[in-house]
Structure 1
Amino acid sequence: MSDSRTIPGPAELAQSPAVGTASEAARARLVGTMLWLLRLGPFLILVIMIAVLAGLSPVFFTPGNLGNVLTQSAAIAILAMGQLLVILTRGIDLSVGSTLALAAVVGALVYAETDSGFTTILAMVFTGALVGAVNGFGYVYGRLPHPFIVTLATLSIARGLALGLSGGQPVSGMPEVVTTIGGGSAAWLASWFPNAAFLVAGVAILVTLMLRNLVWGRWIYAVGGSPEGARRLGVPRNGVIVSVYIMSGLLAGVAAIVTAGRLNAGSPTFGQLAELDAIAAVVIGGASFLGGRGNVGNALIGALMIGVIRNGMNLLNVEGFLQLIVIGVVIVIAVESDVIRTRLEARFRVLKAASA
C-alpha cells in the first residue's frame, strides 16, 4: 500500500521468469518503460521547465533569482508536505492558507507582548496544530461525510479570526530568529541561498523518516490504500486521521514562520489561495486523491514547479491570469497522468498473471 514499492525497469521485466513468451516480454517491457517514465514525470518536467526558462530569460538561472525561487517556494513546500499526509488518507485540508495567516497574526501579537522569539515560534506552531486538531476531531467524531466540509468551515473561521485579531491590518515586527529563518540567507554557503531552504529540507527529512520508519507512517498508507483492510488489521483509523490533520495544521504554523519572517510582520492576508497551491503541488508530484500513493520528494518537486512557473512568467512579463491558466493546465495533466499510471499498473498485473 506504500508508494515506496518499486516498478521493475524494462531490462528486469525482459529477464523476468514470469514472462513466458517473446510477445509477453515485449508488452511487459513497454508497460514497464511507460510506468518508469510516469514515475519520473514530475522531475523530468521540472528539468525541462528550468532549461526552457533559462533559455528564454538570461536572468532566470542567476544565483540571485534561484534564491528568490527557493524563498518563494519554501512556504508552499512546507504546506504541501502537510497536505500530502492528509491526501494519503484520502482527505483534503482547505484551511492551511487561513491557518498560516492566523498563526502569523498570533505570532506577531505574542511577540509584541512578550518580546520572546521562542514564545513567538511556539505560539505560531501551536496555533496551527490547534486548527488542525479542530479539523481532525471535527471530521472524525462529528461523523462528517467528507473533510471538505470541516476544513472549508475552518478556512473561513481562521481567516475571520486573523482579521479580527489584527483589526484587518498587518501587525509589524517579528523576532530576529524568525526574520533570520524566513528572510535570511546562508552567508557561509552562498549569499543567495535562503535559510528557509534549510528549514524545508529539515521538515522533509523528518516527514520522510516518519513515513518510512515509523509504524504510524505505514498506518497512513494503509488507511489511504485500503480503509477496510486497515480496519481489519486493527489499524487505529480514527487516530491516524486526526493525527494527519494535526500535522497539516502544525506545518501550516511552520510555514507561517517562513512567511512572517520574510515580511517581518503577521498579516491576515497571508496565505490567500495557498491551500490551492499546496494541493496542486501534491497532485503535480504524483500523489493520488484515492489515497495510499505519494511521497515527500515528489511533493517538493511539485512545489518547486509552481515556484518556477510563477517566477519564470514574471520574468517574461506574462499576465497574471495566464499564470493561473498554466498552473491549472499542469494540474490537469498531472491528474491525467495518475489515471494513466493506474491503468498501466493494472495492465502490468494482468500481463504477469497471464504469463504465470
Structure 2
Amino acid sequence: MTLNVDEGAPASAEDLAGDSHTLGQRVHELLHRQPALSPAIVLVLALIVFSFLSNRFMRPANLSLVLQQLSIVGSLAVGQTLIILTAGIDLSVGAIMVLSSLMMAKLVSHNGLPGGLALLIGLAVAVLASTINGLLVTRIKLPPFIVTLGTLGIFTAVTLLYAQGQTIQLAPGSFLLKTGDIHSIGSFTVTNGVLLMLALYIVVAFALRYTAWGRHLYATGDDVEASSLAGIQTKRVILSAYIVAGVAIAVAAWVLIGRVGGGDPNSGANANLESITAVVIGGTSLFGGRGLLVGSLIGAVIVQVFDNGLALAGYDPQYQVLATGFLVIIAVSVDQWIRRVKA
C-alpha cells in the first residue's frame, strides 16, 4: 500500500521503514548481481588494517611472498569453484594434487622420464582421479560430500604407499621446477607458478562467461531439474566440471613441485579446506548456480592476507584459524541472506 504524504510534511515512521526496505533491496540486488563485490570490500579493508598493524606488510617483498603462497590454493580454487557451482563439493582436491605431484617427481627422479612426459602423466592421473569422483556422483548418484570424503582417504593412502615415506628432491634445472622460477619487477617478484595460475583463471573464466558449457554449468547448479527439462544434459555437465577440475588440480600439482623443489607426501595438508574456504569467502554459493571465478581468486588472496598479516603483527597462529572461521560463517550467512530476501 502506498501512502500519500503532503509536500514538506515530515516523513512518518512507515515512510522511513519503506526507504530502509528499498535500500536493503538495492543492496541485495547489487550483491546478487556482483557476488565478488563483498569479498573485494573485505580484501581492501584487510589490506588497510594490516598495513597499520605492521609496517612490513605492504613491502614488495612481503606482497610477493603472499602471491607465491596463494598460487597453489588459488589454482585448486578454480577446480573447486566449478564443482561448487554445480551444488557439489570436493574434499579430495588436495589429496589428488599431492598424488599427482609426487608421481610426476618420482617418474623424473627414479625412472628417468623427461619432465614434459611426466607432467602429462601427472595430468592424466589428476583428471582420472577427479573423473572417478564425478562418475560416482553422476552415475551412482552418491552425495558429493560422501564420495569425496571417501576418496580423500583413498588418494591419501595411495600417495603414502607410493611414496614409501620418502620426499623426492629434483635436480636444479629440471623442467618440473620451472614453475618456481622467479621474475623480478623492481623489488617485486613473481614466479612462473603465479603466472600459470593467473592464466588458468583467465581461460576458465572465459569459458564460464562466453560458452554454452559455462551457461549450462550455472543453470545446472541453480536448478538441475529445470535444466534437465530444458534439454541440458545435466549429468554430462556435472561430470565435465569434475574433469576440468582435474586439469586445474594438475596445474596446482605442478606449481606445488616448483614451490617445494620436488615431491613431498606431507605437503598440502590443509589444501582441501583452504580451497573450499577461498571459494566460499569469494562469494560462490554452496547451493550452486551463483558465483564468479574472480571471487574465488579474491577469496584465496584474503586467506593468505589474513595468515600473513596476523603473523607479521605477532598474533598467535590460532588467531589465523579463528579469523578464517569467522570469514567462512559470515560469507555463508551473506549468501543465505541474498537467497532469502525477495527482490
Normalised TM-score (structure 1)? 0.86
Against the structure 1 CA distance between its residues 232 and 50, is the aligned structure 2 distance closer, same or farther, given a 3 Å change threshold? same
Structure 1 residues 79-228: aligned runs within 5 Å: 79-112=76-109, 113-144=111-142, 146-173=143-170, 176-181=174-179, 183-187=180-184, 192-228=189-225
What's the CA shift string for 1:283-330, capped at 9, x where partnerless? 101111111001111010000000111111221232222211111011
What's the CA shift string for 1:180-204, capped at 9, x where partnerless? 21x2222367651222221111001
Q: What's the counterpart of residue 7 of structure 1?
A: none
User: Matches of 1:30 and 1:293 in 2, distance apart?
Assistant: 20
User: Matches of 2:107 and 2:186 in 1, distance apart?
Assistant: 33
User: Matches of 2:129 and 2:31 in 1, distance apart?
Assistant: 39
State yes or no: 1:273 paired with 2:270.
yes
- The answer to whether the Cα contact below 8 Å between 1:185 and 1:191 also exists between their aligned partners in 2 is no
- The answer to whether the Cα contact below 8 Å between 1:125 and 1:251 also exists between their aligned partners in 2 is no
User: Matches of 1:26 and 1:46 in 2, distance apart?
Assistant: 27
- The answer to whether the Cα contact below 8 Å between 1:124 and 1:254 also exists between their aligned partners in 2 is no
Instruction: State the secondary structure of the residue aligned to 1:114.
Output: coil
User: Matches of 1:169 and 1:129 in 2, distance apart?
Assistant: 24
User: Matches of 1:296 and 1:238 in 2, distance apart?
Assistant: 22
Q: Give how far 1:235 is off.
A: 0.7
State yes or no: 1:55 paired with 2:52.
yes
- Unpaired segments of 5 or more residues in structure 1? 1-20, 349-356
Against the structure 1 CA distance between its residues 94 and 115, is the aligned structure 2 distance closer, same or farther, given a 3 Å change threshold? same
User: Matches of 1:327 and 1:61 in 2, distance apart?
Assistant: 21
User: Matches of 1:189 and 1:126 in 2, distance apart?
Assistant: 38
Task: Answer with 31-40 or 219-228: which moved more.
Answer: 31-40
Q: Give how far 1:108 is off.
A: 0.7
Q: What's the counterpart of residue 6 of structure 1?
A: none
User: Matches of 2:69 and 2:287 in 1, distance apart?
Assistant: 29
Structure 1 residues 256-335: aligned runs within 5 Å: 256-335=253-332
- The answer to whether the Cα contact below 8 Å between 2:177 and 2:262 also exists between their aligned partners in 1 is no
User: Matches of 2:302 and 2:247 in 1, distance apart?
Assistant: 24
Task: Answer with 335-344 or 217-226: which moved more.
Answer: 335-344
- Unpaired segments of 5 or more residues in structure 2? 1-14
User: Matches of 1:151 and 1:189 in 2, distance apart?
Assistant: 43
User: Matches of 1:118 and 1:320 in 2, distance apart?
Assistant: 39
Q: Give how far 1:177 is off.
A: 3.2
Q: Give how far 1:30 is off.
A: 4.3
Task: Answer with 23-32 or 34-43: which moved more.
Answer: 23-32
User: Matches of 1:216 and 1:167 in 2, distance apart?
Assistant: 41
Q: What's the counterpart of residue 12 of structure 1?
A: none
User: Matches of 2:328 and 2:154 in 1, distance apart?
Assistant: 28
Normalised TM-score (structure 2)? 0.89
What's the CA shift string for 1:69-93, capped at 9, x where partnerless? 0000011111111101001111000
Task: Answer with 23-32 or 36-45: which moved more.
Answer: 23-32
Instruction: State the secondary structure of the residue aligned to 1:270.
Output: coil
- The answer to whether the Cα contact below 8 Å between 1:97 and 1:270 also exists between their aligned partners in 2 is no
Q: Give how far 1:277 is off.
A: 0.6
User: Matches of 2:24 and 2:134 in 1, distance apart?
Assistant: 43
Instruction: State the secondary structure of the residue aligned to 2:190.
Output: coil
Instruction: State the secondary structure of the residue aligned to 1:186.
Output: strand
Structure 1 residues 4-43: aligned runs within 5 Å: 27-33=21-27, 35-36=29-30, 39=35, 40-43=37-40
User: Matches of 1:60 and 1:194 in 2, distance apart?
Assistant: 19
Task: Answer with 47-56 or 240-249: which moved more.
Answer: 240-249
Against the structure 1 CA distance between its residues 118 and 77, is the aligned structure 2 distance closer, same or farther, given a 3 Å change threshold? same
- The answer to whether the Cα contact below 8 Å between 2:193 and 2:258 also exists between their aligned partners in 1 is no
- The answer to whether the Cα contact below 8 Å between 1:80 and 1:303 also exists between their aligned partners in 2 is yes
Q: Which AA in structure 2 matches 1:52?
A: V
- The answer to whether the Cα contact below 8 Å between 1:100 and 1:270 also exists between their aligned partners in 2 is no
Q: Give how far 1:157 is off.
A: 1.1
